[in-house]
Amino acid sequence: MLDARRLRLLRDLARLGTISAVAQVHTYTPSAVSQQLTALEREAGVPLLERTGRRVTLTAAGQVLVEHAEIVLGALEQAAAAMATTGDELSGPLRIGAFPSAVRTLLPGALVHLGQRHPRLELHVSELDPAAVPDALRERRIDLGLVQDYDVAPVVPDPALDTVPLLVETVYLAVPATSAAAAGVRGVADARTATWVVSSPGTLCHTVALQLCQAAGFQPRVRHHADDFSTVLTLVAADQGVALVPQLAAAQPPPGVRLIPLPTRRHTHVAHRRGSAGHPAVAAARSALDASTRSYLEQS
């Protein structure tokens, strides 16, 4: 019989690449992780890992088992969700990860709704970049979170997660309203000579800015890096450059900023571990987020 905890370690080794990284995520020692993976090989009856010095890679059998591990772990989540439906009242921790602009706009209404309908739920919110949400879900640091992609930069589906659409936003080009150089800007192609404010390298927003500029035939001249859109808009208002800003962050721009709608769209989804959709706390949170998002859009 294959041990589910050891399957999770193998799955994370395939994702993270090293035993040391797996040990850090699970707060084990590397030797403890190695021992558990060796035990899993005995259970499987075939070699799962190839060891060359300090390097460890998965064998063909190990890769097959990782694919099945996702199915097994999803089934365990589904079983836990089914057990939770037998309770009389929702209780215990519910941990939500969301990006800053959603925490300011969409989440408050959802939290109020959950607190009123399910007072025994222990609500915990963590500000997380959408790119960090999948790992936080796999590592069970959160129970559901908000992930994103753009129509110009779709994200490959994660086999460990299920997602449902929440929001589609217009993306704006924010330009200094009083700048003579920006007076004729009507889209990204017109901003080829402008300086730019973009997110940190490695973030999805940074990737999207580069892709849109490259599609328009130029490489952006980046002056500032900022990840908080309030900071981004403040820099634009100070005539420090132009920037891409999604609808949630552009609701109340500071004076001195002109917003130009672009055909690009940002898509936000609610993500949770595969198999946990039927958990009553997860279902309640999804419903509350849907209602809060509709209410926010109607009022904005």
For 168-218, write each residue's pLDDT tens digit. Answer: 999 999 999 987 667 778 999 999 999 999 999 988 899 999 999 999 999
Confidence of residue 164 (pLDDT cuts 50, 70, 90): very high
Looking at 1.10.10.10, 3.40.50.720, 3.40.50.450, 3.30.70.890, the CATH number of the domain 4-84 comes to 1.10.10.10
- Cβ neighbors of 18 (< 8 A, separation 6 or more) are 56
pLDDT at residue 214 in the model: 96
3-state helix, strand, coil in the chain (%, to 5): 45, 25, 30
Could you tell me the CATH superfamily of domain 92-146+271-299? Periplasmic binding protein-like II (3.40.190.10)
Q: Is the dihedral of CA 118, 121, 122, 127 positive or negative?
A: negative
**Separation in Å, CA 225 to CA 79, 162, 228, 236, 242:** 45, 32, 10, 12, 12
Q: Quick check: pTM over 0.85?
A: no
- Residue 175 carries which side chain, given as an amino acid letter? V
CA–CA distance, 1 with 239 (Å, rounded to integer): 64
Across residues 273-284, what is the average pLDDT? Answer: 92
Domain ranges (residues) in the chain: 4-84, 92-146+271-299, 169-267
pLDDT-derived band at 67, boundaries 50, 70, 90: confident
Superfamily of domain 169-267: Periplasmic binding protein-like II (3.40.190.10)
Do 4-84 and 92-146+271-299 show the same overall fold?
no
